């Protein structure tokens, strides 16, 4: 299942020329980290064993897992594109200054979708208890420092 999730993430972050904005090791790391967060948010102790996830995960949870991993990928891509600039040479030009903002906007939309989906499964879900700023910082449920 992990390999399928990683491939889904890579497919969703393809470039215009068919490449990927991410490499497989990055997508794998985001999937692993996202599963831990999803487990906390849903109150289910999901564990990765090789390519398998236990306990068995319903398709709806898998889709939410992918959303969470995409948020992490967007944060990475936003940071990577933060220093982009524009240039113009003759008839050609490229403006990449807004790329970081587009990644941030996508991450915000995914976080909203993620939180709605998690709350529909776990009505006790409170995003402030588990993550900080939606970027995946882990905290123990109920801890306040």
pLDDT > 90 in the chain, percent: 54
Q: Binning pLDDT at 50, 70 and 90, where does residue 93 land?
A: low
Most confident listed range (5-19, 28-42, 87-101): 28-42
Tokens of 124: 């006790």
Name the residue ranges covered by the structural domains of the chain.
Answer: 2-130
Q: How far apart are CA 104 and CA 87, in angstroms?
A: 22
Q: What is the pLDDT of residues 30-83, one digit of tens each?
A: 999 999 999 999 999 999 999 999 999 999 999 999 999 999 999 988 887 776
- Predicted structure pTM score: 0.76
Q: How far apart are CA 85 and CA 102, in angstroms?
A: 14
Q: How far apart are CA 145 and CA 142, in angstroms?
A: 9
Q: Which residue has the higher pLDDT, 37 or 20?
A: 37
């Amino acid at each position: 299942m992990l390999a399928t999730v990683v491939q889904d993430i890579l497919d969703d972050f393809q470039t215009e020329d068919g490449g990927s904005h991410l490499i497989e090791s990055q997508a794998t790391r985001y999937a692993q980290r996202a599963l831990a967060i999803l487990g906390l948010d849903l109150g289910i102790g999901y564990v990765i064993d090789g390519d398998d996830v236990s306990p068995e995960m319903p398709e709806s949870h898998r889709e939410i897992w992918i959303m969470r991993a995409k948020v992490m990928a967007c944060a990475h891509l936003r940071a990577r594109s933060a220093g982009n600039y524009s240039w113009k040479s003759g008839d050609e030009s490229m403006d990449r200054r807004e790329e970081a903002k587009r990644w941030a906007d996508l991450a915000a939309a995914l976080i909203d979708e993620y939180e709605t989906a998690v709350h529909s499964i776990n009505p006790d879900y409170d995003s402030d208890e588990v993550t900080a700023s939606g970027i995946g910082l882990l905290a123990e449920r109920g801890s306040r420092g």
